[in-house]
Amino acid sequence: MSARFAEGARVRVKALYPPGHCRTPYYTRGRCGTVLHVVDHQPDPEELAYGRHGLPKLPVYRVRFALSELWPGDPDPGQGAVVVDLFEPWLEPVEETR
Amino acid sequence: MSAQHRHDHDHPHPKQPDLEDGPFTYHMALTEAVASLLLEKGVFSADELRASLELIDSRSPADGARVVARAWVDPGFKARLLENVNAAAAELGIDAGGIPIRAVENRPGVHNVIVCTLCSCYPRLLLGPSPDWYKSRAYRSRVVREPRAVLREFGLELAAETEIVVHDSTAELRYLVLPERPAGTEGWSEAELAAIVTRDCMIGTAVPRPAA
């Protein structure tokens, strides 16, 4: 199964707020992180939640976000990171700045 | 009842609430309705339902501790554990269930912590039922924002240069922290090692310490 984003790719979580069930935490939306790797391929939870089969399976990425990226307003976010499992349709490439 | 404590006296005793004393909520009704339907349609039997609850309740952090202790003494096993926790646990006769579990390894300068911000995902079949605080909004919301402060409240003071990596279980994957084997445990048996690997060590809110 193919995956759109390679290890080390910079990605942004789409800042979307659709109705219904999803597994994308609010605190990651609109935030940029780095793809660690594809951890699994799984049925789409947004479909499963309504009794559908959720196929084809989607790539699930481990995406690493620095605390300073997640919480830019915090005076001292400190060294650290949060790694979140995210489904591919929620990720978009970060445009390289020239 | 002792002669000194008869129940014809006048002070009241607080009554322990029965399970049914709380409100019967919408979701409780839904759960009961779905369970009755599944039983009625013969999808599974009442005994199978009971047995699966019993299986979940029978698990304890001791299972996870055995896996960690083996990884500490057997590098080959550790490599297989980091690849696939479920398969490695099966080598020790532990059925860790069908949901894939991944191990995250503490190393010098890197400390891992597990959370599920969206609900309360937890490797139950390897660690047993999760502690109440793991399901609390306070833990779930704060550990992804100020992990160092949260760990300090658990009594875990990490060196300022140690990086804390928080793993949020948002998909159909569960996480297990593989703690570092502490100094001073050279020559210990696997059983002795397993005894210092507590539940919180495998969540990441504590680190194993050899008893003083």
Q: At residue B1, does pLDDT exceed 50?
A: no
For helices B61-73 and B75-83, what crossing angle results, to 10°?
130
Domain boundaries in chain B?
A: 22-58, 59-203
- For residue B168, count other CB atoms closer than 10 A to its CB: 26
For A27-61, write each residue's pLDDT tens digit.
Answer: 999 999 999 999 999 999 999 999 999 999 999 99
Q: Model confidence at A95, in pLDDT bands (50, 70, 90)?
A: confident
Task: Tell me which residue in A64, A67, A87 faces B171 most closely, judged by beta carbons.
Answer: A87
Query: Does the pTM exceed 0.90?
Result: no
B38-53: pLDDT as tens digits:
999 999 999 999 999 8
- Mean pLDDT value of segment B158-186: 95
H or E segment and range at residue B115: strand B110-115
B109 Cβ contact list (under 8 Å, min separation 6): B161, B162, B163
**Ramachandran angles phi, psi of A92, nearest 5°:** -130, 155
Q: B25: which 2 tokens?
A: 């909520």
ipTM, 2 decimals?
Answer: 0.94
Nearest in space to A35 (alpha carbons), one of A67, A58, A13, A68: A13
Cα–Cα distance, A8 to A44 (Å, whole number): 24
Whether residue B212 is predicted with pLDDT greater than 60 in this model: the reply is: no
- Taking 60 as the threshold, does the pLDDT of residue B73 lie above it? yes
Domain boundaries defined on chain A: 10-93
Query: E-assigned strands of chain A?
Result: 10-13, 32-42, 58-66, 80-87, 91-93
Residues of B in contact with A39 (CB under 8 A): 102, 171, 173
Q: Which residues of B touch A49 (CB under 8 A)?
A: none
Select from A23, A42, A70 the Cβ nearest to the Cβ of B118.
A23
Whole-number percent of chain A with pLDDT over 70: 95
More confident residue, A96 or B129: B129
CA-nearest residue of chain B to A79?
A: B163
Q: What is the fold, at CATH topology level, of the domain defined by A10-93?
A: SH3 type barrels. (2.30.30)
Looking at residues A64-69, what average pLDDT do you find? 96
* Cα–Cα distance measured from residue B199 to residue B114, given in angstroms and rounded to the nearest whole number: 12
Given this model, what pLDDT does residue B190 score? Answer: 97
Nearest in space to A58 (alpha carbons), one of A2, A7, A6: A2
Q: What is the CATH number of domain B59-203?
A: 3.90.330.10
Q: Quick one: pLDDT at residue A97?
A: 61
Q: Compute the average pLDDT of residues B176-192.
A: 96
pLDDT of residue B81: 98
